């Protein structure tokens, strides 16, 4: 009997995003007239699961939403975008996670998230989705859900013989239990600075230096630096540096999640790390150069 194809399993957050296009981000006490707004299905977890599916991987999501319009919309979006949503739990007595992001005329953004049902994720969700934890699968984690839940998911995937990727965003130092299960750490310059404990210059050379430091704690460390590129280092001393692809920037919103999802999909199909990073780098460049769907 032929074994089923492996999965990219994303354990993490689902948010209903409201994207506001504005000439600038307001300062304290300031009101600015924006250009437009649009809804978007997101959350780092949801975005990464969709990106993995879009890159050709079998993708499954483990998460939580409430029984409300936002939750129903997010579940429908996952299914429509090729993500298996069977293990997204309906959490009673709470609200679906949401965020508001303000994108300025330079293409940068700032956001506020309200986590809602995402904070209810726990070891119970890992046990419920036990069939997804198997040899050959890749688990993708982020920091928009409790560390204890991430640690339980990571331990289950390691015990099954799968690969664990942690996108330590937003910046948060992982517990020892979680860190010990991570195979690949992916961070931006701000997150790298927190975890490495040293200032990180937002340049390709700075990313390389930070990746080398982090590779002392994780088997593989990947540091992204936006329009400068991406660098990685392994505990064995292997290093990769890839310059960013020049594009006309529209918005950086979701670029990191696109990178993670495509990286996981490429590794799942057996690409070498260098090729997977290059493909993920190209995918993120393509995303930031086009208007949000």
Catalytic positions? 257
Rounded Cα gap, residues 21 and 158, in angstroms: 42
Rounded Cα gap, residues 50 and 71, in angstroms: 16
Overall pTM > 0.85:
yes
Residue 28 contacts by C-beta under 8 Å, 6 or more apart in sequence? none
Cα angle at 164 between 160 and 170, to 5 degrees? 145
Q: Residue 291: its pLDDT value, please?
A: 65
pLDDT digits (tens, 9 = 90+) for 28-79: 899 999 989 999 999 999 999 999 999 999 999 999 999 999 999 999 999 9
Average pLDDT, rounded, for the chain: 93
- Structural domains in the chain, CATH included, are 7-13+43-87+119-182+245-288 (3.40.1190.20)
Torsion angles phi and psi, residue 254, rounded to 5: 85, 0
pLDDT digits (tens, 9 = 90+) for 204-229: 999 999 999 999 999 999 999 988 99
Does residue 106 sit in helix, strand or coil? coil
Rounded Cα gap, residues 286 and 196, in angstroms: 29
Position with higher pLDDT, 287 vs 80: 80
Q: Quick one: pLDDT band at residue 132, thresholds 50, 70, 90? A: very high
Say which residue the tokens 């928009």 belong to. Answer: 144
pLDDT digits (tens, 9 = 90+) for 267-285: 999 999 999 999 999 999 9
With pLDDT > 90 as the criterion, what percentage of the chain qualifies?
Answer: 80
Torsion angles phi and psi, residue 60, rounded to 5: -135, 145
Rounded Cα gap, residues 189 and 212, in angstroms: 13
Rounded Cα gap, residues 269 and 278, in angstroms: 15
Rounded Cα gap, residues 184 and 22, in angstroms: 36
User: Which of 126-140, 188-202, 234-248: highest mean pLDDT?
Assistant: 126-140
Say which residue the tokens 């959350």 belong to. Answer: 43
pLDDT digits (tens, 9 = 90+) for 134-166: 999 999 999 999 999 999 999 999 999 999 999
DSSP state of 131: G
Q: Residue 109: its pLDDT value, please?
A: 79
Rounded Cα gap, residues 263 and 249, in angstroms: 21
| DSSP string for residues in 135-152 | TT-EEEEESSS-HHHHHH
């Amino acid at each position: 009997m032929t074994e089923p194809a492996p999965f990219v399993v994303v354990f993490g957050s689902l948010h209903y995003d409201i994207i506001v296009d504005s000439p600038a981000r307001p300062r304290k006490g300031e009101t600015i007239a924006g250009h437009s707004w649009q809804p978007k299905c997101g959350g780092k977890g949801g975005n990464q699961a969709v990106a993995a599916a879009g890159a050709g991987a079998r993708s499954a999501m483990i998460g939580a939403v409430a029984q409300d319009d936002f939750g129903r919309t997010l579940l429908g979006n996952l299914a429509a975008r090729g993500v298996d949503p069977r293990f997204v739990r309906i959490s009673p007595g709470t609200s679906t996670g949401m965020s508001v992001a303000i994108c300025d005329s330079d293409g940068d953004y700032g956001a506020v998230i309200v986590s809602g049902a995402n904070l209810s994720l726990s070891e119970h969700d890992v046990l419920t989705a036990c069939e997804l934890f198997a040899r050959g699968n890749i688990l993708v984690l982020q920091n928009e859900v409790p560390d204890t839940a991430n640690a339980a998911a990571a331990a289950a995937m390691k015990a099954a013989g799968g690969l664990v990727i942690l996108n330590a965003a937003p910046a948060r130092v992982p517990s020892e239990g979680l860190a010990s299960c991570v195979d690949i750490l992916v961070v931006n310059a701000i997150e790298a600075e927190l975890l490495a404990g040293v200032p990180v210059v937002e340049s390709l050379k700075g990313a390389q230096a930070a990746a080398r430091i982090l590779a002392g704690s994780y088997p593989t460390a990947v540091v992204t630096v936006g329009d400068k590129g991406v660098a990685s280092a392994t505990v064995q001393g292997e290093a990769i540096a890839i310059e960013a692809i020049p594009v006309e920037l529209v918005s950086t919103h979701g670029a990191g999640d696109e990178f993670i999802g495509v990286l996981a999909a490429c590794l799942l199909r057996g690409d070498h790390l260098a090729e997977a990073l290059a493909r993920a780098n190209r995918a993120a460049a393509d995303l930031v150069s086009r208007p949000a769907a």
